[in-house]
Structure 1
Amino acid sequence: MNKVVIGLLGATALFFATEGAHAAPQQITDTVITVQNVKNGHYKIDPYHTQVLFSVSHFGFTNYSGNFSDISGVLALNPKNIEKSKLDIQIPIASIQTTSSKLTQELKDPDWFDAKQYPTAHFVSSHIVKTGEKTADVTGNLTLHGITKPVTLHIAYIGAGVNPLNKAYTVGFQITGKINRGEFGIKTYLPKVGDEVDLTIAAAFEKAS
């Protein structure tokens, strides 16, 4: 076999190997962006990469989890003076999902969230306190199931930079908190199904202005 044929076969093999492999993830940024260096301004939630997860004790056997999607909201971010920032998040109740289709439907019904009468959960911040270099506590009003109560969420900065896929400048946070569902009038199976609900929000925001 001559050198030309060998070269062509080698190039063909390399082409198919490259096409079949997944490209390595692109780095968002070459430098570490500290909280203070994140761009100031107004952001909108990226609904495709934002999740609201909840977990509750299920008859004391397991901590059962589910999630909400299609989240919307805005963030007025002031990185150098985080106390002046504002957060507004809206969660469509009908987007709820669990690993059981039967339970998912039940949770939308009047005995639970009553998604038709109360289609949206809404959190609006009223007070922000810096708790560390990358953390803050955000207190605000949560309206759920037609009832509004004060709630404090704990926010941790994850990272920021230009998304290599859509080129949007993005900042991300991990948000955690707890609520008592009974305080919001969701009392089915209390106390056997837990009252305290753990919340975890993976929140991505894209710069709007």
Structure 2
Amino acid sequence: MDAELFPRERAEVAPGAVHVPDWLDADRQRDLLAACRTWARPPAGLRTVRTPGGGTMTARQVCLGWHWYPYAYARTAVDGDGAPVKPFPGWLGELGRRAAADALGSRPGYAYDIALINFYDGDAHMGMHRDSDEQADAPVVSLSLGDTCVFRFGNTETRAKPYTDLELRSGDLFVFGGPSRLAYHGVPRVYPGTAPPALGLTGRLNITLRVSGL
């Protein structure tokens, strides 16, 4: 929105889980979108993720550093075209370290080496899940571009309540670590047509940065 009756402020949604609105300025959003468009091209580009049960995720995905597939990591796009995964750039790791520090306060420099980039069109969603395939407990950094979504952040025990629903808009940062590192979370809804017009993106991109421990 161009004008807010009440400006959005950072909030601790749960212990170790922090929402920082408007963390990326307009120029940084455009730069990150341009990089995502490059990463989405083949080989090892944007793909539809198929689950072991035969279903498909409605959000499409591309990976950097390590290729995630349900429920493991590989160095090649084993459930795609089989090409080597694209490298994880150093500048993206630095962005992740800065994001974690800004959200959670002074922390050691985490060695981010994985990016999972999910693209949501207007009908896409993400069920409640935990990011539990890594062998490190470093905070997860989540950056949003494009359309606004409902982000549901729950608890570490069950996909059901209690959980908190909040809006993530283009440029927002969400970081979760510590006692909330393995909390269930998901995206039940995307609001089509809510992206900043100047960004030039139809849909939503979520860039999630993780430390593999591999």
> TM-score of the superposition, structure 2-length normalised?
0.28
Question: Greater helix percent: which structure?
Answer: 1
Structure exhibiting the larger radius of gyration computed from Cα positions? 1
Greater relative CO (CA pairs within 8 A, separation 6+): 2
